[in-house]
Structure 1
Amino acid sequence: MTRSGQDYLEALRDGREIWLDGARVKDVTTHPGFRSAAASFAHLHDLAADPAHRAVLRTADGVHRAAAVPRSYEDLVARRRAYKRWAEAGFGFLGRSPDYMASAAAGFAALPAALTGEHHDGAGPALALHRRIAEDDLFCAFTLTDPAGSAPGDDLRVRAVAERDDGIVVRGAKTVGTGVVFADEVLVGTIEPLAPDDTEHALSFSVPVDTPGLRLISRTAYAQGARSVFDRPLSARYDENDALLVCDDVFVPWERVLSYRDPATTAAMWWRTPAYLHAAHQSATRFWTKLEFLTGLAILIARSNGTDTLPAVAQATGRLLGMVAQAKAFVLAAEADWEPVDEGRGGVRPGQEISFAQRIMAGELYPRALQDVKLLAGGALIQLPASGHDLDHPELGPLVRQYVRGGGAPDAHTAPEERIKLLKLAWDALGSEFAGRHEHYERFYQGAPHVYLTMQTWAGGADDCEALARACLDGYDLGTAR
């Protein structure tokens, strides 16, 4: 089924339990804190349904390319082009768009046997999840992070509290549910390895967001504080939100349980299947797109300031363009370094070593890119009219137009309205609360540094590096002639 944006919005009106600022949200499609982001996700569905974009976004069978199991290098390239088209629609700021989990689900489907555990066979539920996403164009989000800290005897983590013939009853919480308030389903689980004896928390399942007992407590909705798109062009439209997910005796049918009471299987669904690497391919493409946006913003600011030809500014722009090239190179290299899944029976996956390394690059590069753009913008970012409507004020308007304009030669000055529009966009990307969330988000997008830096040591390449250094050592000794 090819869903339109309107189909998607109608599906969100299902009575899901979402809380914001102490009040229950009746309808995310009309609430001021959520409606604009819902419309942005709807736009992605409209793009996928548009014949003009069909060849890029869908396979010949009509499935979104993210949900199709890639069988070749060419399929990976086609996937990346689809990721890029959607990422550009949100300028890289929709970090968990529907193609993220669609890619992961295709990874489950590529090697479903990895989800067959000692206590539960999750292969069937994993394949069913993939079918729902692929055939019904569903938006599946996920939440995998446990709440920090527990009082003695008080387990905050999601676990099963009862077993029934037809399923399990779960209780507990997960945090940082990015995009869950806008999703059709949510995958609840864990991605970090559990202790072999921690069977109680070895649990993964996917349920509709309107499942009884499932509650979402939203963080501040940045869109609600954005007075207009002109004043907050990113916050007002692309705040995908993060929420605390609380399960209050939620019933989960067995056919929706992907792993159960098996730490090995709970980890294998991400690390033995290509699920994580497929999702990382999407996120790396989005990150590349986001850096393109920031660099383009820097170029526009320098031109508006009349400083774009100064050597120091040209060097700063070159450094940003170099960052874009680095981000692009990681994507293309991971594709070219593709590896077979299950000896080819599960298709192919992007190269693991390079995909893992991209996490290190992205987490370190994004704050540097922001810093460089801020330096190019200078103090103009913090001296802007409170509202773009000041331009229309009978008394303030003439003053604003006189004193807020670009640099350079008088005949090259940026018009006041365009100058303010550009700098407000820049502030929203660089200095607003929305921007602060994104800087922190990119630092931890692929997990905590202590986790992914450690994982890099077993991603591949260490033996080759050691062998090369050893070859040099073995090539001489005390008796070697000069």
Structure 2
Amino acid sequence: MTRTGAHYLESLRDGRQVWLDGELVKDVTRHPAFRNTARSIADLYDLTTDSAAAKVLLTQDGIHRAYSIPRTYDDLVARRKAFKTWSEASFGYLGRSPDYMAAGIAGFSAVPGVFATSTFDGTANLEAYYKRMSTGNLYQAFTITNPQIDRTKPAAEQEEDDLFVRVVKELDGGVVVRGAKMIGTGAVFGDEVIVGTIEPLGPGDAEYALSFSVPIDTPGLKFISRTSYEAGARSVFDNPLSSRFDENDALLVCDDVFVPWERVLVYRDVKASLLQWWGTAAFPNFVHQAATRFWTKLEFLSGLAILIAKPNNVYDLPPVRNQIGRILGWLHQARSMVLAAEAAYEAVPGGEGVQINLEIASAHRAMAGEIYPKIVQELKLLAGGGLIQLPASGMDLRHPELGGLVAKYIRSPGHSAEQRMKLLKLAWDALGSEFASRHEQYERFYHGAPHVYHPMIVMHTDTNALENLVGTCMAGYELPDTPGLPA
């Protein structure tokens, strides 16, 4: 049976330990810091029950296309269309929607040999894991980044031995782990959380070299939430994005968590713990989903730019057209990279199926992080002081004394005060609110820091071909023997 939004929401009422402002949240589906976002994610699942959307979102076997392993170019396009359908439902603001990590799991399954090591053979567990997640259409959350403690030292040389998640005990039925992982984006809304390490580990870090997926309500798992922008929203009218699409970020703390062996994918293998992410199709699959979502987000911001310019009658002014053209240029750049990466698809190295072009996927990481702040800046310049001089609440329009004043001074030609306020409240939430600031920082580091992804662009690029092109040019001429004569 296809999973519905109601089924999803019910699954969240499992006693998971989510902490916010020193409070243990008993039910994320009802708490004012999480309930609207949980409902937005539930809406994604409801789309899979809509006959028209289901044709795009689901395979003939009834699983989400994000879980499928593409075999052809057409399969990549079909998967992208599914990514696009879900991303449009949140206007690109749910960065870690369930299809993100679903694509990662499909990437693992495309290269199962990575999980067969001398210390642990996780291939059978991987097969069961893929089946469990895909057939249940489950939401896989993840925490794969170590806390920022001392970045000059490997995991085993930190001040304390449990600052990062590590094995502290091995039992007949599994292992006991202790430590923390950061940036659990959307983790409080997941069905399971996969814990691993995306950064390289040192030769002495075997105790930290593991990967496993367990239910969110597993005893000993604690999720410590950052400030909730949803909780701070005055209303959907005043904060239309942060009130509905604050996917949250949480610190995961493992307090002597028991992990059964059948839930373990990688164990005590430093190389495999890294290759799980970079030696399978997981990374290009991540970028395929993320790049499609980013394209959608830029469509939204481009539309916002046009709607900001029109009410003030400046849309046709050459300087404004210049600004909007610049924004649209970035939009088409983002879109073109997705289409190009699909068209230049390649076989999954050492595995099965195909993936988007790795060179373009790597370049997209840099492009997205660099242009997003520029787009936000252009929109802020376009909106000007209108973003600042807004009534505290849309309900001021209903006030018996203030309503007439607001209606008179906030309007613009052809647009009522309510229409204009609705637009500018949306713009502020996208550009200037705390929610907006988080998204700008988030897009900058969506796939890592520049000092990480720039060298990886070099690694994934056929630099020999570039050198050979220059070499061909240089081979076409020589220093002449006599000055003034051609070579």
| TM-score bracket for this pair, using the shorter chain length | over 0.9
Correspondence 1:10-409 to 2 at 5 A? 10-149=10-149, 152-342=159-349, 346-406=352-412
TM superposition score normalised by structure 1 = 0.97
Residue matched to 1:409: none
Query: In structure 2, how many angstroms separate the alpha carbons of the residues matched to 1:41 and 1:124?
Result: 30
One-letter amino acid of the structure 2 residue matched with residue 358 of structure 1: H
Q: CA deviation at 1:154?
A: 4.4
Q: CA deviation at 1:153?
A: 3.8
Unaligned runs of 5+ in 2: 151-157
Residue matched to 1:472: 473
Q: CA deviation at 1:396?
A: 0.5
Query: In structure 2, how many angstroms separate the alpha carbons of the residues matched to 1:152 and 1:420?
Result: 52
Q: CA deviation at 1:473?
A: 2.4
Residue by residue, what CA displacement relative to the aligned partner does 1:450-475 show, whole Å, maximum 9, x if unpaired?
10111111102211111112222232
- 8 Å CA contact 1:168–1:253 kept in 2: the answer is yes
- 8 Å CA contact 2:162–2:178 kept in 1: the answer is no
- 8 Å CA contact 1:102–1:130 kept in 2: the answer is no
Query: In structure 1, how many angstroms separate the alpha carbons of the residues matched to 2:289 and 2:209?
Result: 26
Across the aligned residues of Structure 1 and Structure 2, the Cα RMSD in angstroms comes to: 1.2
Query: In structure 2, how many angstroms separate the alpha carbons of the residues matched to 1:256 and 1:479?
Result: 70
- 8 Å CA contact 2:91–2:296 kept in 1: the answer is yes
Query: In structure 2, how many angstroms separate the alpha carbons of the residues matched to 1:190 and 1:391?
Result: 51
- 8 Å CA contact 2:162–2:180 kept in 1: the answer is no
One-letter amino acid of the structure 2 residue matched with residue 12 of structure 1: L
Correspondence 1:400-479 to 2 at 5 A? 400-406=406-412, 412-479=413-480
Query: In structure 1, how many angstroms separate the alpha carbons of the residues matched to 2:384 and 2:464?
Result: 47
Residue by residue, what CA displacement relative to the aligned partner does 1:354-408 show, whole Å, maximum 9, x if unpaired?
00100010000100010111111111001100000000001100000110012xx
Query: In structure 1, how many angstroms separate the alpha carbons of the residues matched to 2:357 and 2:126?
Result: 23
State percent identity of aligned pairs. Answer: 59
Query: In structure 2, how many angstroms separate the alpha carbons of the residues matched to 1:173 and 1:273?
Result: 25
One-letter amino acid of the structure 1 residue matched with residue 44 of structure 2: L
Q: CA deviation at 1:342?
A: 4.9
- 8 Å CA contact 1:63–1:135 kept in 2: the answer is yes
**More deviation, 354-363/109-118:** 109-118
Query: In structure 2, how many angstroms separate the alpha carbons of the residues matched to 1:174 and 1:342?
Result: 29
Residue by residue, what CA displacement relative to the aligned partner does 1:240-292 show, whole Å, maximum 9, x if unpaired?
00000000000001111111111111111111210111111000000000000
- 8 Å CA contact 1:356–1:452 kept in 2: the answer is yes
One-letter amino acid of the structure 1 residue matched with residue 430 of structure 2: A
Q: CA deviation at 1:337?
A: 1.1
One-letter amino acid of the structure 1 residue matched with residue 470 of structure 2: A
Query: In structure 1, how many angstroms separate the alpha carbons of the residues matched to 2:288 and 2:118?
Result: 31
Residue by residue, what CA displacement relative to the aligned partner does 1:110-132 show, whole Å, maximum 9, x if unpaired?
11111111211122222222111
Q: CA deviation at 1:323?
A: 0.8
One-letter amino acid of the structure 1 residue matched with residue 136 of structure 2: D
- 8 Å CA contact 2:226–2:248 kept in 1: the answer is yes
Query: In structure 1, how many angstroms separate the alpha carbons of the residues matched to 2:446 and 2:312?
Result: 33
Query: In structure 2, how many angstroms separate the alpha carbons of the residues matched to 1:256 and 1:423?
Result: 48
- 8 Å CA contact 1:196–1:264 kept in 2: the answer is no
Query: In structure 2, how many angstroms separate the alpha carbons of the residues matched to 1:137 and 1:299?
Result: 37
Query: In structure 2, how many angstroms separate the alpha carbons of the residues matched to 1:297 and 1:342?
Result: 41
The alignment of Structure 1 onto Structure 2 pairs a total of residues equal to: 476
One-letter amino acid of the structure 2 residue matched with residue 275 of structure 1: A
TM superposition score normalised by structure 2 = 0.96
One-letter amino acid of the structure 2 residue matched with residue 206 of structure 1: S
One-letter amino acid of the structure 2 residue matched with residue 68 of structure 1: S
Q: CA deviation at 1:6?
A: 0.2
SS in 1 for 2:60: coil
Question: Kindly tell me: are residues 196 and 470 of structure 1, through their superposed partners in 2, closer, same or farther at Cα, counting changes over 3 Å?
Answer: farther
- 8 Å CA contact 1:281–1:331 kept in 2: the answer is yes
Q: CA deviation at 1:52?
A: 2.0
Report runs of 4+ in structure 1 exceeding 6 Å deviation.
none
